Amino acid sequence: PAYHLTREGRLAPLRRVELRPGGSTLAGLAAPVIAAPTFVLFENGRETGRITGYQGDDAFWGLLGKMLAHMPSPIHRSGTAAKLD
């Protein structure tokens, strides 16, 4: 299934942001985004976690699961992989 159909995707919806030369900055980022892909988790308008690069499904879901576990309403990995564009 696609990311948005997973429990993780519903809890942390994906928003795409254009990466500009020199890095992208958004309010609430702990540091500029300088590589693609970069997945940034926000809570209450503040960065709470970041995955830079994509080393495969297992690494992505494992790291995302750890980040989401620290949120006030933790969830567990759905067990389904997602195809990421």
For residue 75, pLDDT beyond 70: no
SS (H, E, C) 3-39: HHHCHHHHHCCCCCCCCCCCCECCCCCCCCECCCCEE
How much is the pTM?
A: 0.74
CATH of the domain spanning 3-19+29-69: 3.40.30.10
pLDDT in tens, 10-58: 889 998 888 888 777 788 999 989 888 999 998 888 999 999 999 999 9
**Domain limits of the chain?**
3-19+29-69
